[in-house]
């Protein structure tokens, strides 16, 4: 399984010279499974470049949406495969008692917000609410579960062979709770992330910023580190960077994260901040034990 970060920013696109290294595109992650098939996680503005990277040939894509806030769907009408009749796109997302997934997405892909309607998209697109139980896409087993954020929001776990990715980009597990004291089963998202090879997790706020954003649905650095430690993941990418955070501020945040992780006895190399364009090979995430020399 290979992972590419196409958009790491949260809330709103934030291009500019001060964000050029970590990137200004909003949430999108491409996942190449062991059979070569592709999953896209979220459709923030980062999905535009993902679409441009794909060959113009018949294909089937699965797009897994965590939720329908604009920073997670804004790139959908600029995703080139949507305009290719030979492409089949299956869009998964959270269920809601209010309206179907298609109808909720159509609020964005419709006038006056969009020049095209869902029914006008040339591709073969279908919409599916995620099931409660695990399901399969190609060689991968997929699991979705509701997590603590504003509005119906999912996190995903993707298991492919012995590698696993947990993707929880918008998450406030410490809302009204002390993550250090809660039992595992009472921690939002715990079951998705437990023991994952790679966790991509909300790390939007510095600790000093969090009190002014309590209940906004995102994590402080401390909360993200606690969640990573409690769930016992191999490697963590902090994600959904605040649009006000410059590259220099994110450098500082990353350094603090590594120092605190190391101070707690962890490998500082196992914590990093998501960088737009970064590619992560899960086969290399945790080195395999060296083979026993023949004697």
Partner 1 sequence: MPTSTQKPLELILARNLMSALSTPAFLVDEGGLLVFYNEAAGMLLGKPWEELGTVGAQEWGALFGPFDDGGEPIPYDDLPLVKAVRDDRPAHAEFEIRSTDGAGHRVEVSAFPIQTPHGSRGAIAVFWPAADGADGASA
CA distance 280 to 68: 26
* Three-state DSSP state, 54: coil
Does 147 engage in binding with partner 1 (CB under 8 A)?
A: yes
Considering only residues 25-64, where is the footprint of partner 1 by CB under 8 A?
none
Nearer to partner 1, 177 or 262 (CB): 177
CA distance 19 to 246: 5
DSSP 283: H
CA distance 248 to 251: 5
Nearer to partner 1, 114 or 129 (CB): 129
CA distance 143 to 166: 9
Considering only residues 57-96, where is the footprint of partner 1 by CB under 8 A?
94-96
Does 101 engage in binding with partner 1 (CB under 8 A)?
A: no
Contact residue for partner 1 among 145, 206, 275, 278 (CB under 8 A): 145
CB of 22: closest distance to partner 1 in angstroms?
A: 30
Give one DSSP letter per residue of 234-275, joined into a string.
S-EEEESB-TT--HHHHHHHHHHHHHHHHHTT--GGGEEE--
Does 129 engage in binding with partner 1 (CB under 8 A)?
A: yes
Contact residue for partner 1 among 146, 260, 275, 277 (CB under 8 A): 146
**Residue ranges that bind partner 1, judged by CB under 8 A:** 94-97, 129, 132, 141, 145-148, 152, 157, 159, 164, 175-177, 184-188, 190-195
């Amino acid at each position: 399984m290979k992972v590419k970060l196409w958009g790491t920013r949260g809330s709103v696109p934030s291009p500019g010279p001060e964000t050029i290294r970590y990137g200004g595109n909003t949430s999108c992650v491409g996942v190449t499974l062991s059979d070569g098939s592709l999953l896209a996680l979220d459709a923030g503005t980062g999905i535009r470049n993902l679409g441009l990277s794909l060959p113009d040939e018949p294909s089937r894509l699965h797009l897994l949406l965590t939720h329908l806030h604009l920073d997670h769907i804004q790139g959908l009408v600029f995703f080139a495969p949507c305009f290719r009749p030979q492409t089949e796109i299956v869009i998964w997302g959270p269920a809601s008692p209010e309206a179907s997934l298609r109808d909720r997405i159509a609020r964005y892909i419709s006038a006056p917000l969009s020049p095209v309607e869902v029914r006008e998209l040339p591709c073969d697109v279908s919409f599916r609410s995620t099931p409660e139980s695990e399901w399969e896409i190609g060689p991968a087993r997929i699991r979705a579960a509701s997590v603590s954020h504003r509005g119906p929001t999912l996190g995903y776990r993707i298991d492919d062979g012995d590698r696993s990715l947990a993707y929880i980009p918008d998450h406030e597990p410490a809302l009204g709770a002390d993550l250090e004291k809660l039992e595992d089963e009472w921690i939002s998202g715990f079951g998705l992330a437990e023991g994952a090879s790679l966790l991509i997790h909300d790390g939007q706020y510095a600790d000093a910023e969090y009190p002014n954003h309590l209940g906004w649905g995102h994590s402080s650095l401390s909360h993200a580190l606690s969640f990573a430690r409690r769930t016992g993941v191999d490697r963590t990418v902090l994600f959904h960077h605040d649009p006000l955070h410059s590259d220099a501020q994110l450098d500082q945040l990353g350094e603090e994260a590594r120092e605190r992780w190391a101070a707690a006895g962890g490998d500082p190399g196992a914590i990093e901040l998501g960088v737009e364009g970064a590619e992560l090979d899960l086969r290399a995430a945790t080195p395999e034990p060296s083979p026993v020399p023949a004697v």
